[in-house]
Amino acid sequence: MPTFADLENPSITPEDKVLIQSVLDRYMECDVWAKKALKNTGILLTSHPGNRAFLKASIETHKKTGYWIVLGYDNYLNPKRPDITYEQMFPARDVMDMVDTFIMPYHQTWGGVLYPYFWILKFGIAAMSGFEYIYCANGDCVLEKPENFNQLFDLLGDNDIFPVGYEENGGRPILNTTGIFARREALLKMMNHFEQNFIPYKNYERTCMEMGNCEGRMAVAAKDLGTKIAIPEKNPFNTQLHRKGGTWFDVLGFRHVHAEFGYAYKHKKEFPELKYFDERYMNSEYEKIKEYWNDKEEV
């Protein structure tokens, strides 16, 4: 095995030193990537093909934190549809190059986000067993202030989980899963609770009316398990975060750009900045957004 000391050895030829340096450079390149695994926190971004227009910006901004990035991806490759190709459903190569770990479960036939989201979290948490803390967010969210990421530890305090939003909702609490920061062991227990009341299907039927959607089930799990929740001082505008605001926005610049875009497009409001869109996965909407910002800059 070559070492840096070999480069100082006068008996080694210049040609061999070039080869040794090449090998050492590859070792060090791996080290830059691998040392992130020694940190106490990992980032899990959940996504699907419909989010690809926002995924690149999401990964880019979260990568600036310096933490390990896991991409959990919903599987749209239906075995009954062999005509569906990888290119139609997977992130672009340059996007995948930014990811440290990729997780994808089996194709889900469940209608809606609840079932695939559960599997992504289940296997994502399992893959992140070496981390004490897990930050999880939708892959269409960005951080405008990634340099403030470590403030999440203070905001979590001695609690178990710090969600982007929490609402009592008239006695049926909602724990907003758009963004959460949690101790891994607490999050694992919550997902085990989720599974026990979800699989097999008869358990879902039994608990459907009582627990509701994903946000409702997370809140029920926290209550049943005695999970300590750090309630954000300011909730976002609503559960979709289609407007800027809330504690996570103030501290991290956390934005759900997909929701902002949908709201702006429908109600003729200000679009998110052009840099948050990936033109490859948009149609005429991209030109409208581009025109909007060009016109605004000219004023």
What string of DSSP letters covers 157-200? TTSSEEES-EE-GGGS-EE--SEEEEEHHHHHHHHHHHHHTTSS
Residue position matching structure tokens 């976002």:
236
The distance from CA 283 to its chain's CA centroid, rounded to whole angstroms, is 24
Task: Find out whether 226 and 243 touch, Cβ atoms under 8 Å.
Answer: no
Same domain? For 266 and 196 the reply is yes
Residue 37 tokens, joined: 């695994």
| Average pLDDT estimate for 51-68 | 98
pLDDT above 90 for 33: no
Higher pLDDT, 24 or 55: 55
Does any domain span residue 5? yes
Does any domain span residue 277? no
Same domain? For 33 and 54 the reply is no
pTM: 0.93
Number of domains comprising the chain: 2
Does any domain span residue 194? yes
Reduced DSSP (H G I as helix, E B as strand, rest coil) percent helix, strand, coil of the chain, to 5: 50, 15, 35
Same domain? For 68 and 195 the reply is yes
- 186 φ, ψ (degrees, to nearest 5): -65, -40
The distance from CA 192 to its chain's CA centroid, rounded to whole angstroms, is 20
Residue 33 tokens, joined: 């990537």
d(CA 285, CA 294): 14
Residue 6 is part of which domain span?
Answer: 1-38
* Tens-place pLDDT, residues 115-125: 899 999 999 99
Same domain? For 21 and 99 the reply is no
- 240 φ, ψ (degrees, to nearest 5): -85, -15
Task: Report the percentage of the chain scoring pLDDT > 70.
Answer: 99
What rounded mean pLDDT belongs to the chain? 93
pLDDT above 90 for 284: no
* Tens-place pLDDT, residues 154-207: 999 999 999 999 999 888 999 999 999 999 999 999 999 999 998 999 999 999
Same domain? For 96 and 112 the reply is yes
Does any domain span residue 275? no
Same domain? For 160 and 28 the reply is no
Task: Report the percentage of the chain scoring pLDDT > 90.
Answer: 75
CATH of the domain at 67: 3.90.550
